[in-house]
Amino acid sequence: MANPPSALYPAPSVVLSVGGSLLNDGKPNAEMAKKLAEAIRSAGVPCGIVCGGGVQARKKVERARKKTGSEFEADLAGIKITYKNADALRLALGAEAGPKVFKDFKTARKAAGRQKFIVMGGTIPGITTDADSALLAEALGAKRLVNVSNTAIYDSDPKTNPNAKKFGTMSYAELISLAQKSDARMAGTHFVFDLLACSLIARSRIETHFVDGRDAGQLKAAILGQPHNGTVVRG
């Protein structure tokens, strides 16, 4: 994205998708938000950041689904929690993250150059914050995405298969094929990056890093596009 002449910062060239699993274990985890904010700030570069929902979102989604019988309403309940998590991270990042969490891509894009960190939660029902992060990267013209969770990509689930093999690098096609296999499995099991998000990074050739966000050094390296112990997906 071109910078306006009045820009204080370059537009972010990297977007982070921060997993709800890290940010919320029943309520926003302030300690983890602080740790993540320190690691993100230490990289020293502007970032777009999308926050997931975590345990609390899953509970609220389930409750809203039972109460309303509407998937749309259930998703809105999930989105509400992503805003709470995003706000906790925004506050931990300080003044350079601006005064608010953004709720749509066009408004978020307008803030590029004016603030160092552009923090979002979810946007519309029917998608996930994985897809939101890929869309924010497209909106900003960012060519690198970092999925910040607690895992790299494996050829099978390492929790159930002790022989699961970790990918150091893989292609978009390989990632899509793995996500498709996992999409066809039972409800409740979910792949580390959803299928829509995989398709979006592939169509815009956004290099995507999967890294353990609990390790500040690993996260910083991924933000800067340096080698790390996770997985890198590229063409």
Which positions lie near ligand UTP, rule CB under 6 A?
Answer: 19-21, 52-54, 57, 61, 75, 78-79, 82, 122-129, 132, 149
Beta carbon nearer to ligand UTP, 9 or 204: 204
State the minimum distance, in angstroms, from the CB of residue 190 to ligand UTP.
Answer: 7
Beta carbon nearer to ligand UTP, 12 or 52: 52
Angle separating helix axes 71-93 and 30-43, nearest 10 degrees: 60
Residue 229 is inside which H or E element, if any? none
State the minimum distance, in angstroms, from the CB of residue 55 to ligand UTP.
Answer: 8
Which 3 state secondary structure label does DSSP give 25?
coil
DSSP 107-160: HHHHHBTTBSEEEE---STTS-HHHHHHHHHHHHT--EEEEEES---BSS-TTT
CA 100, distance to chain mean position in Å, is 18
State the minimum distance, in angstroms, from the CB of residue 200 to ligand UTP.
Answer: 13
Written as six digits, the tokens of 181 are 């296999």
Beta carbon nearer to ligand UTP, 113 or 201: 201
Beta carbon nearer to ligand UTP, 156 or 189: 189
State the minimum distance, in angstroms, from the CB of residue 3 to ligand UTP.
Answer: 27
